[in-house]
Amino acid sequence: MKLGKSQLINLTMIVALLALALIGTYLSPLLLPKADVTAVPEPGCDLQRRACSAALPQGGRLELSITPRPIAFLQPLRVEVIVSGVQPGKVEVDFAGASMNMGYNRSELPAAGPGRYTGETSLPVCVSGGMTWVATVIVETDRQRIAVPYRFDVGH
């Protein structure tokens, strides 16, 4: 069977898309935050409505707030993290699509006072309209790297 020019172009595009999907599947774990310890946010936390906290291992707390609410695509967002019980050397927040790779979107939050870190970011728009995001707060201390993943929906 001989393929026509348009069929060959279509087949090439399909192969290219499959290759990109395969590459994304294997590379996306490399982009995710690495941590020594992962803490879990409080049950029922809804960042669209309020700040949410998590108990840190070996004591301490971490609270994440994203404003304005409701959180939306393509608008400036203020991110605030309050940490107690540990002495962070660095605090970052990593935003990732829960079901779709949205690229590298991580920001270091500068200190805004004792135990308080703030910064600005924005979420890229999702072509599907709505998306579940995971905002992972990464706290580096002199002994460990702690990650706290917070899930929230935008545009649903």
Q: For position 33, what pLDDT does the model report?
A: 58
User: Same domain for 71 and 117?
Assistant: yes
Q: For position 91, what pLDDT does the model report?
A: 98
Q: In a 10 Å sphere around its CB, with 0-12 CB exposed, 13-18 middle and 19+ buried, how is residue 90 labelled?
A: middle
User: How many domains does the chain divide into?
Assistant: 2
What count of other Cβ atoms lies within 10 Å of the Cβ of residue 86?
21
Strand pairing partners for 139? 91, 146
Residue range of the domain that includes 22:
1-31
Both structure tokens of 100: 């779709």
User: Same domain for 46 and 86?
Assistant: yes
pTM for the predicted model, two decimal places: 0.76
User: Same domain for 38 and 93?
Assistant: yes
CATH number, residue 52: 2.60.40.10
Which residue ranges in the chain fall short of pLDDT 70?
1, 3, 5-33, 126-128, 156
